Amino acid sequence: MKLIFAIVNNDDSSIVTSKLTKNKFNVTKIASTGGFLSAGNTTFLCGVEDDRVNEVIEIIAKYSRKRVESVPTGFSNELIPMTVGVQQIVVGGATIFVINVERHERV
């Protein structure tokens, strides 16, 4: 058995939840915050049999879109005053961890 941790953008969490449960996966959602942009994320916990791990990953990958966001940037030193610009960065998609489960019980 494996435990899958998947960190997904909040904008994609509803469709990911829907598709996982439609395919008979039990999933727990936890609200989380990313470090880089302090943006809202959803962390999914999903315990699955070894032979279904790829199925979960495919669903998460299919419904976790990457998107471009604009973030302010700044630069200054003693010769140049603070200048502010905007940088385009790609966010979204999913970060997925798969961990072996030594023991699993439902009580």
pLDDT of 9 > 80? The answer is yes
- pLDDT per position as a tens digit, 65-89: 888 877 777 655 666 566 667 777 7
Q: What is the pLDDT at residue 36?
A: 61
**Where are the domains positioned within the chain?**
2-66+92-100
Q: What is the pLDDT at residue 106?
A: 85
Give the C-alpha distances (Å, rounded to integers) separating 92 from 15, 27, 43, 49: 14, 20, 13, 27
Query: What does the pLDDT average to over 92-107?
Result: 92
Q: What is the pLDDT at residue 72?
A: 72
Q: What is the CA radius of gyration of the chain?
A: 18
Q: What is the pLDDT at residue 75?
A: 58
Instruction: Enter the pTM of the model.
Output: 0.77
Write the DSSP symbol of residue 93: S
Architecture of domain 2-66+92-100: 2-Layer Sandwich (3.30)
Q: What is the pLDDT at residue 37?
A: 61
